[in-house]
Amino acid sequence: MQTFSGKVGTSPVAGSGNNPEARPARRKRQIVQGAEPTADFVEALARGLRVLRCFEPGVKSLGNMELAQLTGLPKSTISRIVYTLAQEGYLRYHAETGRYSPGYGVLALGFGLLASLEVRQLARPLMEELAHETGGAVALGAFDGHAMTYVDAIHGSSALYLRLPVGHRLGPDSAMGRAYLAAVTPAERVALLAGPGGDMVTPAMLERACADLEAAGCCFAIGDWQEGINAVAAPFTTITGEGYFVMSCGGPASVLPEKRLRTEVADKLRQIVGKLSPR
């Protein structure tokens, strides 16, 4: 299986042949998420994005003090960032409370991404079928640089009490996070574990995830991510060329007991990601 580090080579020479002005194209940057920033890294932009990430699903509004605590940035820096984001439409300021909430600019970016994801359109009917057959929650997620983020989610039963929506972010200790960690290169794994939430992954958990991926093509979380919740997840490269994703299926142990998860459900999940991956 391919790992999650796509090496970028040099671009073709532009205008080759007898053109005297022909010159080698500029080498593309190699971007490895989780790696140390280089001279091309724009710190001010990164701080603004860090502020936006504080508005997770379920967070209606935040004040400057809360944002400073969540990001570790000085309050004076937060004031300038939120003013800029509000001016650009990515935050809304509520004068009556002095707090901020996400603006419609964020909504446009998010839906623009979802609408353009071909793999999401291809995966949805397969996810719906799996959710219907298992009664579990089936999700498609990608690594956003800090966490695994749902880009689609189908809930197979109204009885599911853990109903996570599109946009929900999961830590590396989830089944989806374990599958991603097990699939990346060792160097990338070290960098990711040094980042947010890395301390939630124990050496034994990581070793088990790598062994499961090698043996079964999937990773499992059996009641040790959320009590009473079992899940299986499989990483894959998309047939659409859009990169790397992880698909998971999970639910209460009463609906998805371990034996069923490791056999019937894991087998169906492998079949689905096989259809979405290059041969």
pLDDT for 235:
97
Position 124 scores a pLDDT of 96
Instruction: Look at residue 2 in the predicted model and tell me its pLDDT.
Output: 41
Q: What is the pLDDT of residue 257?
A: 96
Q: Which residues pair with 143 in a beta bridge?
A: 148
Please give the single-letter amino acid code of residue 176: M
According to the model, what pLDDT value does residue 239 have? 92
How far, rounded to the nearest angstrom, does the alpha carbon of residue 276 sit from its chain's CA centroid?
Answer: 17
Q: Where in the chain is the domain with CATH 1.10.10.10?
A: 43-107
Residue 158 burial by Cβ neighbours in a 10 Å radius (0-12, 13-18, 19+): exposed
CB contact at 8 A, 124 and 86:
no
Give which of 75, 98, 71, 69 is closest to 86, Cα–Cα. 98
Query: Where do the CATH 3.30.450.40 domains begin and end in the chain?
Result: 117-276
C-alpha 164/C-alpha 108 separation (Å) is 21
pTM, full prediction: 0.71
In the chain the first and final C-alpha atoms are separated, in Å, by 11
CATH architecture group of domain 117-276: 2-Layer Sandwich (3.30)
pLDDT for 37 equals 62
For the chain, which ranges sit under pLDDT 50?
Answer: 1-22, 24-25, 31-32
The predicted pLDDT at position 229 comes to 93
Domain spanning 43-107, CATH architecture: Orthogonal Bundle (1.10)
